[in-house]
Amino acid sequence: MFDAKIYFELLDWLDGAGEIRPAEFLRRLQNSYDLAGCLYVDAAVSISGAVIHQLHHSFDQDVYRAVSEMGGPGLSHIFSRCSRALEPIDLQELSRQNRHTIEFKQRIYQVNNRLRAVCYPLLSRDSRNAFFVIARSCDTEEWRLARRCYDRDIYRLAGKFHARQIDRQHTEPLHDEQASLTQREKEALLWTAAGKSYWETSIILGISERTVRYFMANARNKLDAVSNTQAVAKAMSQGLIPPAPQ
């Protein structure tokens, strides 16, 4: 049942492949270890929410839909909890935390009550967080044995895949206008990252709410962002504003 050659075959493929397609890696990992699905997330998580930089998965649509329907606040909490862990988190352990993580487990179990999952936290760059999740449909004892045999290997493969994705991103050129934010635009972004509304930011900065909206619109445009949350994440990732406290 457990074959050590699986790890080396996937490792050789990762080392020998040129540009790695995330979907191809997830498919190979899933088939090799007889998994129900895999999930890779690289995101900027702050008190104003989570902005996804990369999200790839190989779960069927029923599972993916059940999780995605939790909504932004719940998923942001899950992302933050998973990405800031110091060691792998089992779904059973995660579900004991609070209402968001309890709901997370309930939604998954409504689709498949035999589904077991573990999250591997990964180091990332530019104030971002990342993690890799695998799931298997099995009973508790089989899951315990599978983790004992394969946890280390899958964690290493996920880390190597993540490193390749990060290296690829950092070879892409930045837009020239990304470093041209004014001081006021940076201040508006900083207070938005802290969860302040336009009105609250206007009081703090001593300017009108309309002017705050103007600064944020300029910042979104310069950072090529479609929302304030994405603008904050991009500004943090480029070091234009400091990361928001957690």
CATH code of 33's domain? 3.30.450.80
Residue 175 has pLDDT above 50, yes or no: no
What's the confidence (pLDDT) of residue 246?
A: 44
pLDDT band at 209 (very low <50, low <70, confident <90, very high): very high
What's the confidence (pLDDT) of residue 154?
A: 96
Q: Among 27-31, 70-74, 101-105, 216-220, name the one with the lowest average pLDDT.
A: 70-74
Does a structural domain hold residue 87?
yes
What's the confidence (pLDDT) of residue 46?
A: 62
Domain end marker among 169, 193, 209: 169
Distances 150 to 20, 29, 137, 204 between C-alpha atoms, Å: 22, 12, 15, 52
Distances 218 to 158, 182, 194, 215, 233 between C-alpha atoms, Å: 38, 9, 19, 5, 15
pLDDT band at 85 (very low <50, low <70, confident <90, very high): confident
Tally of domains within the chain: 2
Residue 177 has pLDDT above 50, yes or no: no
Any residues with CB less than 8 A from the CB of 101 and at least 6 apart, and which? Answer: 77, 78, 81, 94, 95
Examine the domain organization and report whether 109 and 162 are in the same domain: yes
Residue 53 has pLDDT above 80, yes or no: no
Does a structural domain hold residue 190?
yes
Q: Which amino acid is located at 42 in the chain?
A: D
Residue 153 has pLDDT above 50, yes or no: yes
Segment 203-210 shows an average pLDDT of 92
Domain end marker among 114, 141, 169: 169
Examine the domain organization and report whether 201 and 149 are in the same domain: no
Segment 118-133 shows an average pLDDT of 86
The span from the CA of 235 to the CA of 73, in Å, is: 21
Residue 244 has pLDDT above 70, yes or no: no
Does a structural domain hold residue 114?
yes
Examine the domain organization and report whether 153 and 216 are in the same domain: no
- The CA dihedral of 58, 63, 66, 70, to the nearest 10 degrees, is -50
Supply the range of the domain harboring residue 138: 5-169
Does a structural domain hold residue 38?
yes
**Percentage of the chain modeled with pLDDT above 90:** 40
Examine the domain organization and report whether 180 and 119 are in the same domain: no
What's the confidence (pLDDT) of residue 48?
A: 56
Examine the domain organization and report whether 156 and 48 are in the same domain: yes
The two three-digit tokens of residue 50, written as one number: 């989570």
